[in-house]
Structures are given as C-alpha cells and as structure tokens.
Amino acid sequence: MTGHQRAEAAGTFYNTCPWPESRGRGEAANHRPSIVAIHGLNGHRDETWTAANGTHWLRDLLPNDLPNARIFCWGYDANTHGKRVSHQFLHDHAEELVSDLCRRRKRTDVQALIHSDAARKGALEEHRSIKTSTYGIIFMGTPHQGGNGVHFGKLLVNAASIHKTTNSQLLEHLERDSEWLQQQLRQYGPISGEFVTKFAYEEYKTPTALGHSIIVVPKASAVVPGSANAEQIMIHADHREMVKFESEEDSDYEKVSDHLIMMVEAAGSVVSLRWEEEIRVDAARSNLGQNFSVIFSLSEASETNHFVARQTELATMHEALSGGTDRNAVTLHGLGGIGKTQLAIAYIKAHRDNYSAIFWLNIKDEVSVKQSYLRLAKRILQDCPSASQLGVFTDDKRQDDVMAAVKRWLEHAKNTQWLVVFDNYDNPKVPGNTDPGAVDIRQFLPETYHGSVIITTRSSKVNVGRRMKVGKLEDVRDSLQILSDASHREGVIDDPNAAELAKELDGLPLALATAGAYLDQVATSFQGYLRLYKASWLKLQQTTPQLSSYEDRQLFTTWQLSYDHIKRQNKFSARLLQLWAYFDNQDLWFELLQEQNSSGPEWFARLAEDELSFHEAMRVLCNHGLAEADSSSEMDEIESTGYSMHTCVHEWTTHVLNQEWSKELARLSLYCVSLHVPVINAKGSWKTQRRLMQHASRCWSSVKAGKVEKENGLPVALGNLGNLFSTLSKLEEAEQMFDWALHGFQDALGANHVLTLHIVNSMGDLYTKQGKLIKAEKMYERALHGFETALGPNDTDTLNTFNCLGILYRRLDKLGEAEKMYQRALQGYKRALGPEDMTTINIANNLGLLYFDQRRLGEAEEMYLLALHGFEKSLGHNHPSTLNVVNNLGMLFAVQEQLEPAVEMYKRALQGKVNALGIDHSSTLGTINNMGMLYANHGRLNEAKEMYLQALKGKEKAFGPDHMSTLGTVNNLGMLYVAYERLDEAEEMFLRALRGKENALGPGHTSTLNTVNNLALVYKMTGKENEAWQLYARFPKTTTG
C-alpha cells in the first residue's frame, strides 16, 4: 500500500449473498463457510491480493473453485509511514478485526471461518464465537518469530520520519526475539491444536528500495515449531508476490486453493460438533447460575513463564477431557522436572472457559491435600455463598468434614462442569509401595461420574482415566526457547553454543530453566556454562538461583524424593541406581551384569542372578520415571533389551547419589564391561561390541583419572577393552590400554607369561592397523617365539600368530612368506578345530586375499566362496566377517570386468557395514574406497569422486593423514584427477601419497613405486620431462622386497 492511501478498517465481500437468517446456536450444519483474508503491514484489502495483470485471486479465481463460500477481504490502517499513520498497536487492530467480524455476522454466529493471514493476528479468544467457528488458518509469510526485513524496515521508517508521519511501533512488535511475539506464541500455542494450520513461507528474496534483496520472513520464523495439526507450504515467490496469483494455472494458486477446498470440505462437521459442545457448556452454566461458578485462579499452582510446545500432548488432553457424559480424567506421569505441572497449567489456561470452576490441590501427602480442600472450601463460599446451603463450611479443626462437604458439593447433580487438578501425587498407594505415608487418591476423588480430573505423578502405576507419559522435549528449538526465556539473552535460537548446551540437557525443562536462571545472573557464556556443567556439576547446581516455578526448587534435589521411595520398595533397585552412575546412561542390559555376578558383592549377585531379578529392580526405577525400557537398543537372538536413563538424572546419580566416589563400584562396572567383550567371530559379536562401546569409554575415563584400584585384575580388563577399541577402530585409545596392560602383566607375571604374550600379539594387530608395520613384525615375532616355547607349535595361540604374520607379510608385499604363514595356520586349525570352525574359515578368506594379490583369481574365488558359505551359515548374512568376504568378492568381480556383480557385492557390503559398524569404521571406509575404484575404472568419474572424498574424510578422521589406508585413497584421488585432466591437483595428491609411503614402507616397496610411476606420468603430461625421468630412474635401483 502506498503512503498516500488511507486504509481505515473496512471490508469487501466477494461471491456475496445475504447473510443467513438468524438461527439458534448449533444450527449451522448447512451454513456457508466464510473465508476471511487479512493483509499485512503497509498492505491494502484489495491491492495486497492483486497481481500485476489485475487479477484479484480472491475475487476473480477462488469463487470458481469455492462457489458456496463467502470471501471477505478485511483491511485496516497498517501503515508504518505516510501522511496519515494510525498509532494503534497490532493488538488494537486484532480487537477491531474480531469486533468487526462479530458485527457483520450478528444475525448468526455459527459459520465456519477460514482465515488467510499475511500478518500476526491478535487474541482469538476475544469473542468465543469467533474462536469456536474458526476451523483453519493459513499464515502467508507471517513472522511468528520476527522477520529479517523488520530491522531494514525500521531504518526506512526512521529516514521517512524526517518529513513524514511515521509509526515504528508495529515494526518493533515484529523484530526477531520480540517479547510481544513470544507472548502471542505462548497464548496461541495451547489452542493451536484446535485449528487446522498451514504455514506458508517464501522461497525467494525480495528486492528492497535500496537495491538489496532479502528473505523478509525466513522459514524458521514463518513456521512455528511443535504446532499440532499443522503443515508447511513453500510458495515459489518472494514475500511481496507470494499472495498474488495471475491465473488458475499458477502452481502456487493451485496449492493454496487446494488447501482451502480441503479445509472447507472438512469444516462444517467439525464446527457443528464444537457448537454442540458449546451448547452443553452454556446449558450447564445456565443451570448452575451463581450457585456453582467460582472465579478462575491459579494461585495454588507454581507457574513458569518458560512453557513451550507440547501441542500434541495438549490436544490429547483436550480429547480425553471433552468426550462423554461420565467423569473425564487424565493422569500425567513422568520424570520429576519433565514439565507435568506446567502442562496441566497450560491446558487450564487454554480451556478455562469450558469449566464453571477450576481447583488446584497439592496431593504430595494427606496433610497437604486436606489443607488444599480447606482452602478450596473458602474459595467456594467466597464466590458461591449459596454453597453453605449445600453444607459447605470451613473449620481448620474439622478438615475431614470440610473435605467431605466440598466433595458433596462437587457431586451435586447440577454441578457438572468443574475441573480438579491433583498435583504432585508422587507417593501413591499402589501395589509394592509399603510406605505408611503413601496416599490413596481414591478417598479424595469425588465419587460422582461427572466433572473432570487431572493428576500429575512421577509414578507410572497410577491408573486413573487416560494415562499420558510426559517425555522430554524432542525439538531442540523448544529447548533453546526455554534457555532464551529464562536467561533473557538475545540471539539464543541461532547460537551454536546454546544448541550444544541444549543437547547436553536433553530436553528436560527443569534443567533448561535452571541453566537459564544461572545465566540470567552471571556473565558466563553458554560455552562456559557447559564447561562448568561437565567439570563441577554439583557446585554449579548448588549455586544456581532457586526456581519459584518448581516445587522441588533445584535440579540436584528433585529426584531425592523418588530415590527415598525406591529404597523403601526395593533395596536392589536403589543399589542398581547407585551402580548405574559408573556405566553410561544409555542401554544397560541384563547380560552385561550377569558374567560378573559370581565375584561381585552379595547384593550384586542377587540382582544379577537371573533375568527376572534384574527386570524387577529395573521395573521399580521405571515406575518412578528414573529409567525407561530402551526401544532403540539393538535386539538380537542372543541378548536382551536394555534400559536407559536421562542424561541429567545420570549426572545426579554421579554427583549426588555417589557424592563419595566408590572405587569398588567403579571396579565392578569395569569388570562387567571387560568380561563381556565378545570374541570377534562370535555370533552377534558386532552388535554386542557396539552396545558396549559407550560403557567401555566411561570405564576407561575412570581408569585414566585414577578412580579404579590398581589390582591384579586390571591388566586383564584393560586388555579386553583394548581389543574392543581396536576392533571398532578406536586405535589411539586401544594403544594406551595395551600399554597399561602390558606393563601390568610384565611387572606381575614376567615378559614370557602367556597373558603377557596375548597383549604383545594384540599390539602387533594394532600396529598393523596403524600402518606401523616394522613395529608390528617385532611384536608378532616376540609373541610367536613365546607361544612356541610355552605352548608348542600347534597350540591355537601359536597358530593365531602365524595367521597374523601372514596378514603382515601380505601388507609388506612379501607374498611368498605370507602364503607359508597362512598355510601353516590353516593346516593347524583344521587339525585342532576342524574345517568348519570360524577361525579356520577366516584363514581361507585371508588366503583368498593373497591369491587375489597374486592374480590367482580362480583360487581366490574358491577361497572366498568357501569362506562366504561358512560365515553365512554360522554368523548370518549381516555379520561383519560375512560382509568382508562379500567386499572381497566385489573386488574379484571388479578386476574381472564384471561391473554389475561387483556393484551388487559392494552395495551389499556397504549397507551391511554401515548398519553393523557405522559409516566411520575402517572396514566401511575400505568398501567405500573400493566402490570409488570400480566407478573410476568404468568411467563413472563423478560417482568415483564422491566415494573417494567420503572415504578420505573418514580415514583421515579415523587413522590420521599419513596412514597407509589414507594414502591409498589419496593415490586413487590423484588417478581420478588425471582422468579429469586436473593435473595440478593430481600432482598434489601423488606427492602427498609418495611422501607418506616412503616413510612407512620405504622407497622400494611395490606400493611406493606405483605412486612413483603415477607421479612420473603427471610430470610427462605437464612437460616436466626431467622430473619424470628422475622418477623412472628409481626403478632399476630398488627391489620390491
């Protein structure tokens, strides 16, 4: 809208017909729906919707698609500059809209309304008839959380104010992180689930008067996170043009009109049901008169200003508390601090008009609930004096009689529209709770079957009405909003350090509000708070300001009540909770504890003696919300499902429940984990390894910090953990563990003891993976000599070292010696374990790799197929050992120019390894590299590049930049760049590969010479003949041994 135009509140009807004759409320089943369109700032009721060709789509197009709908374009003075500028706030315009709609439909108030909004509208609850009749809303580029164009618009306003009347108040409302906008979101959020909502956002930038282009309202601002019953719509236009459509063929018009048509088709029945409910409520109010209506108050509740989201939960509560003629009840259960009370408050505030009286009772114990009933009686008598005629009275000395009188008043046949909240029902009298102070809520509930009840409790065993578990906030944006509101800091939503803190606090509202309260009063950054949280958890919590909105006040005390109840119910549950601090918080399962039960303390032996005892102890923790069965833990045919604990509860168990660190429990957890490390080729071993990893990392942290006793069993435990970390490509940590274990065994048992030699052999494996091949050879030779001396040449430990030497010699290009080692191991294993043992089959796969290197492809295929059959039969199709053979078959098919079979093998291997080991595991990265080589050899260069870059990034992270595996991929990238004729980049890759290989393998190794040849080729292609011949001259002077 231009500056000289005047836009007082007014409206234009299109597709008009007389307003329907007046009918009684609820008699609107066949009434025509109305579509109301409201423009945005500096807009006009007609020009906003009119395209450059003169098409006003609400007037010219939409009536053809919706011939039975009334379309009303409403306008208001929303200028921010010009000769005449209204100084009304957005809230004032919103009130004017509601009043205007009520006036224009005064002869009927039951039509379905669909709003199309290009700016934030005000309170929908100004007149209940408008809210009741509104079915859906389409927000077209509405800045729910402020727009990027607002600050720029304010600059223009300030400039215009030199010679024109201006009003920047409207723009201030729409700034990013505007307090007014946040208030509107909080008011709209609880009722948003009652409407079908579409959030349309612009795809393109809008040109400005100063030559810039900006996204005026980014998607993050146009789409409200966590809204129930909502859908996002992308409009292929800029902010100004997104509400202008030139024809019916416009794809954006088709999109918007389709949504409107669907909304109109569904609106009639939904709105009719709402009016039927309104009729029942109004009838109840009419019958009650002044006898049963009590003024709304939440003075008994502890309300927070930081409530966000929960739209799905609010919608479920509304459904449960709205249907039927019997008493409606909802039980909200969940972890302390998860937001149950705040959810109940939000529901009440959203639906207060549906109830004649709302009461809040504290039922943490019998004394509290009786005192609440006493206060309730005083409120009833104050607002309903006639209640005394029904027996309601107050007397501090007769609390039982007062409670009985109030219950009779609630049970009155005409008093049906009340809502009672029983908050903090955390010590319920349920089976298993022997606490004499436990409360039986049944004696405090009215006995009639009308009215509504909400119960909040930490116990999942309370079973009144519909049970709803209240979980953590899943969307990190909701967590960031609490941090923003509580800390009163700007820019929190887009702060990566705030996001990291929110992730650590894992959607627990109490923890988020606690952090925000601390940050509101100190100069610490979000990054600094996270550092303090990890380093000094308890002291940080103790020095944090108290939160008046939470009953338990502080994070470090809130779960003590639950723990006290648990101790009384099951001492093993309490012990398990204390032990859990020494494991990771995710995925604690029975078998993990079982193997250590014979050597642990008596209570631990009882806890882990069988699965039933373990699950019973866990069940009590789950009942109090401190743990939950983990549906995400990997199930297999061998081991059971685990349980998980919220990360904040885990911190509490560590710093409060175990304020005095127990080295005994730390040792117990370490031994549980280390004893459960599986043999590599055991069935399901890879799943167990992944489940163990987080627990092993926590135990290793305790060892490094000196929090575990150094005793005889420690080297064994660290050796097992080292094997786990080595298998999962955590090589640096594995090396440290092996070092500790080796020194421990050598000091206690001597250098030639079998246990010492096992660590020596494991260190050889580690050095091989790290590409430290000379060090690996020394370790293997020492282990082989020791095993042959101590155990003999045919013992399986000796044979294992022969196999390891075969792997090493193959890496060193000593293929003849490698074959001797493999054959020695293979024949020995066949005699000792049989031809179908997994170890024997693994040697067959290794021989296949050797034959492949020697281009004895027929023999290689024979070995691979033998190994594949054996692994699939014993371990399954998705075990990593099986997938390694699949990968090897892919390599074989690739050199045989069998493209499709090779791709099929690689894809099977890659998908399986990603699922089993993760994308960053060395074995997975090897298959990715192989796929790159295959694509490159068949001219699919873009696919090859994608594979190589992914493999290189992963290998550099896992192994470092100079590892042989990393350098192999670097060399492959160089070859690819040659194919692209990007010779400078190829030269850079080959030089890097050459330097690394010369350092690791020496100048005469075959792999080194291959890279020398590649680099010389690039030099020749770039005209550097001298450099090329200098490289070629190296070949006759070196050997390949």
Model pLDDT for residues 155-198, shown as the tens digit of each residue: 344 433 333 344 555 555 555 555 556 666 666 666 677 788 99
Q: Higher confidence at residue 173 or residue 866?
A: 866
Which backbone phi and psi does 213 adopt, to 5 degrees? -130, 135
Fold classified for 10-277: Rossmann fold (3.40.50)
Query: pLDDT tens digits, residue range 667-720?
Result: 999 999 999 999 887 777 888 998 999 999 999 999 999 999 888 889 999 999
Nearest-angstrom CA–CA distance, 189 and 224: 9
Query: pLDDT tens digits, residue range 510-565?
Result: 999 889 888 988 888 999 999 988 888 888 888 877 766 555 557 778 888 889 98
Strand pairing report for 34-38 and 113-117: parallel
Q: 426, 559 in Cβ contact below 8 A?
A: no
Displacement of CA 700 from its chain's centroid (Å)? 27
Show the beta-strand stretches assigned E in 432-563.
452-457, 466-469
Nearest-angstrom CA–CA distance, 462 and 433: 12
Assess whether pLDDT exceeds 50 at residue 293.
yes
CATH number of 311-469: 3.40.50.300
CA distance readout (Å), 627 to 93, 335, 902: 50, 9, 47
Which backbone phi and psi does 466 adopt, to 5 degrees? -80, 125
Displacement of CA 787 from its chain's centroid (Å)? 50
Number of H helices, E strands in the chain: 42, 18
Give 88's pLDDT tier (boundaries 50, 70, 90): low
Residue type, 661: W
Strand pairing report for 196-202 and 134-140: parallel
Strand pairing report for 165-166 and 81-82: antiparallel
* Percent of the chain scoring above 70 in pLDDT: 84
Q: Higher confidence at residue 543 or residue 503?
A: 503
Residue type, 270: V
Show the beta-strand stretches assigned E in 542-659.
628-629, 643-644
pLDDT of the residue at 830: 93
Give 94's pLDDT tier (boundaries 50, 70, 90): confident
Assign 3-class secondary structure to 342-371: HHHHHHHHHHHHHCCEEEEEECCCHHHHHH
Tokens 């197009």 -> residue: 61
Nearest to 666 by CA among 624, 710, 615, 634: 710
At how many degrees (to 10) do helices 922-937 and 941-958 cross?
160
* DSSP bridge pairs for 81: 166
Assess whether pLDDT exceeds 90 at residue 799.
yes
Radius of gyration of the chain (CA): 36
Joined together, the tokens standing for residue 977 give: 């760049």
Average pLDDT, the chain: 84
Query: pLDDT tens digits, residue range 819-847?
Result: 999 999 999 999 999 998 999 999 999 99
Strand pairing report for 206-207 and 213-214: antiparallel
* DSSP bridge pairs for 207: 213
pLDDT of the residue at 633: 47
Average pLDDT over residues 955-983: 90
Q: 759, 738 in Cβ contact below 8 A?
A: yes
- Domain residue spans of the chain: 10-277, 311-469, 479-542, 559-660, 661-740
Q: 997, 1007 in Cβ contact below 8 A?
A: yes
Query: pLDDT tens digits, residue range 258-273?
Result: 999 999 988 888 888 7
Angle at the Cα of 618 from the Cα atoms of 616 and 621, rounded to 5 degrees: 120
Q: What is the DSSP letter of 50?
A: B
Angle at the Cα of 462 from the Cα atoms of 461 and 465, rounded to 5 degrees: 130
Average pLDDT over residues 722-728: 94
Select from 1.20.120, 3.40.50, 1.10.10, 1.10.3470 the CATH code of 559-660: 1.10.10
Joined together, the tokens standing for residue 550 give: 């939470």
Query: pLDDT tens digits, residue range 923-932?
Result: 899 999 999 9
pLDDT of the residue at 151: 47
Nearest to 667 by CA among 711, 602, 721: 711
* Domains 10-277 and 559-660 belong to one CATH topology: no
**Upper half-sphere CA count for residue 23 (Cβ side, 13 Å):** 13
pLDDT of the residue at 523: 87
Average pLDDT over residues 418-444: 90
Nearest-angstrom CA–CA distance, 704 and 721: 13
Nearest to 424 by CA among 367, 474, 380, 478: 367
Least confident range of 197-211, 575-589, 692-706 = 197-211
Nearest to 21 by CA among 33, 34, 31: 31
Joined together, the tokens standing for residue 851 give: 């034959």
**Which of 91-115 are b and which e, b meaning 16 or more Cβ less than 10 Å from the residue's Cβ?**
bebbbbbbebbeeebeebbbbbbbb
Q: What is the DSSP letter of 134?
A: E
Q: 426, 458 in Cβ contact below 8 A?
A: yes
Assign 3-class secondary structure to 707-731: CCCCCCCHHHHHHHHHHHHHHCCCH
pLDDT of the residue at 178: 56
Strand pairing report for 452-457 and 418-423: parallel
Tokens 């274990």 -> residue: 741
CA distance readout (Å), 144 to 78, 218, 384: 17, 10, 42
Average pLDDT over residues 63-91: 72
pLDDT of the residue at 613: 94
Assess whether pLDDT exceeds 80 at residue 120.
no
Q: 894, 929 in Cβ contact below 8 A?
A: no
Assess whether pLDDT exceeds 70 at residue 1039.
no
Residue type, 122: G
